[in-house]
Amino acid sequence: MRETETAAERINCTANTMAGILEKFQSLGKGNGVRALKDMSHGLTVIRAVPYVYTVCRKKSACDYCLHRKEKLLRCSQCKVARYCNAHCQREAWQSHKRECKCLRSTLPNVPTDSVRLVGKIIFKMLQNPDATSEELYTISDLQSHIKEASEEVQDGLRHLATALQLYLKEEIQDISQLPPGFQAIEYFGKVTCNSFTISDGEMQDVGVGLYPSMSLLNHSCDPNCVIVFEGTCLLLRTVKEIPKGEELTISYIDVKMPTQGRRDQLQRQYSFTCDCHRCLIRDKDEDMLAGDADTSREVERSVSRLEELLSQNKAEEALNLCKTLMNRYYLPDKNIHQLKVLDCAMDACINLGLWEEALQFGLQTLEPYSLYYSNYHPVRAVQLMKVGKLQNYQGLFTEATKTLMQAFDIMKVTHGRDHNQTQQLAELLNDCEANMRGM
Ligand SMILES: [Zn+2]
Ligand SMILES: [Zn+2]
Ligand SMILES: [Zn+2]
């Protein structure tokens, strides 16, 4: 692996140079795709893309402008919905917030869903910038909506969203003539459903959702050669394998820690296609993921959503109790994905409650399954290792912590790159840890 990545080597693509590195092509059986115009090594930033539009996740306490998670945020004094880190973020956001602010205020105390807010932003952006000449490979109007293939149930859902949008926008848009020419709300909700990217922060927590039209050309694989990480709202497309000239670039649209049938169902439901990648064809690791007694596995699976709900409501003690009940009542191997989820929730609950030793025990149990399911270079595994390494460091286990954090670093310099602030935080942590070790 190459240790350094010089500025010249890093293909920091803006829209204009994208065509020099990547090209759009017809991928066999998959429609549009993107392939490499030159050999690429792993650990490269291929594209650094800014969103066409984005919005913060309604349920997260994060800044509407920079998506930084924070407990205390300043509210927009007019709509009381948008929240910001400080006056700077608020000022920067105003241009794109101005028109939606009136709409947000008019529907209080109701707050629109993320997708309604996102489509609202698309409309305002199109009106503000109607004939922006784009040098991107793909634009917002090129995006596929797949509404024709959608089931009746999905179409109903889209119609429902279109109605919600109309109500939301009524302050600013009263009739069709005020919409961008030819704008069809249902079609745009279809586009958002299958083209939006969930924006995650350094800890892999979902904080927002955005559209990056050219990135929608990337096809899915359950064993992709690229990953997507974010720096604020900026999307980085990074290579995690060597990619020879002419090869298609792929990403994973979904969490791959799911058995083949589950992945295929989700891809079909959300993106209207059936994955036939190598992993799906051989049903790779399905047996591991569902290891243990099938009824027990289903029983635990049923409790997982309750667990996640408790954690999202900050009910850590209740969540931990439920984890312990499940672990005492049922036996499943750690590599069973539902059991793994319970372990993850138990670790998070313990961290919330300051039970460091217990948190570490649960965290350590997750590492082997994580390396099984997130083989190669995967940002989720790097972040998990970092979390465990931090706990070890905190408890004075400096030798173990150094080892764990080094593993995290080896992955993160490929998945995030050395310049990424998450990698830099990790490097600092490693330094502290090594200093602590010398001082022992
Ligand atoms: Zn901010
Ligand atoms: Zn506002
Ligand atoms: Zn697949």
Q: Give residue 73 CA to ligand 2 midpoint distance, Å.
A: 13
Of 354, 382, 409, the domain-final residue? 354
pLDDT of residue 437: 86
57 found inside a domain = no
Together in a domain, 337 and 419: no
* Number of compact structural domains in the chain: 4
Same-domain pairing of 277 and 292 = no
> What one-character-per-residue DSSP string does 204-253 give?
S-EEEEEE-GGGGGPEE-SS-SEEEEEETTEEEEEESS-B-TTPBPEE-S
What is the whole-number distance in angstroms between the Cα of residue 71 and the centre of ligand 1?
A: 12
- The CA 102 to ligand 2 mean position distance, Å, reads 7
Which residue is it, tokens 């310049």?
419
Which residue type, as a one-letter code, is found at position 141? S
Helix or strand holding residue 117 (H, E): helix 114-128
Same-domain status, 185 and 217: no
Which ligand number lies closest to the CA of residue 264? 3
Ligand nearest the Cα of residue 94 is 2
For residue 275, report the distance from its CA to the centre of ligand 3, in Å: 5
* C-alpha of residue 413 to centroid of ligand 2, in Å: 38
Residues lining ion ligand 2 (Cβ < 5 A) are: 76, 78-79, 82, 101
Please report the DSSP string for 290-313 in residue order: T-S-HHHHHHHHHHHHHHHHHHHT
SS3 at position 385: helix
- Check which CATH number belongs to the domain holding 337 and give it: 1.25.40.970
Place of tokens 């359950």: 222
Q: Is residue 359 part of a domain?
A: no
- How many angstroms is it from 430 CA to the middle of ligand 3? 36
- The pLDDT tens digits of the residues spanning 85-142 come to 999 999 999 999 999 999 999 999 999 999 999 999 999 999 987 766 555 778 888 8
Domain-embedded: residue 10: no
Domain that residue 120 falls in: 82-195
Q: Which residues of the chain have pLDDT under 70?
A: 1-19, 131-135
SS3 of residue 170 by DSSP: coil
Q: CATH number for the domain including 189? A: 1.10.220.160
d(CA 195, CA 271): 8
Is 145 part of a structural domain of the chain? yes
- Rounded CA-CA distance 134/76 in Å is 32
Nearest alpha-carbon partner for 58 in 96, 102, 113: 113
pLDDT at 149: 83
pLDDT at 135: 57
d(CA 216, CA 142): 10
C-alpha of residue 278 to centroid of ligand 3, in Å: 7
Q: For position 2, what pLDDT does the model report? A: 35
pTM of the predicted model as reported, rounded to 2 decimal places:
0.90
Tens of pLDDT, residues 254-292: 999 999 999 999 999 888 899 999 999 999 999 999 999
Is there a domain that residue 60 lies in? no
Instruction: Give the residue among 14, 389, 60, 411 at the shortest CA–CA distance from 235.
Output: 14
| 188 and 223 belong to one structural domain | no
Q: Does 189 lie in the same domain as 91?
A: yes
The pLDDT of residue 15 is: 42
Expressed in angstroms and rounded, the spacing between residue 52 Cα and the centre of ligand 3 is: 28
| Neighbouring-strand partners of residue 237 | 47, 228
Supply the pLDDT for residue 315: 96
User: Dihedral (C-alpha) 423, 429, 432, 433: value to the nearest 10 degrees?
Assistant: -110
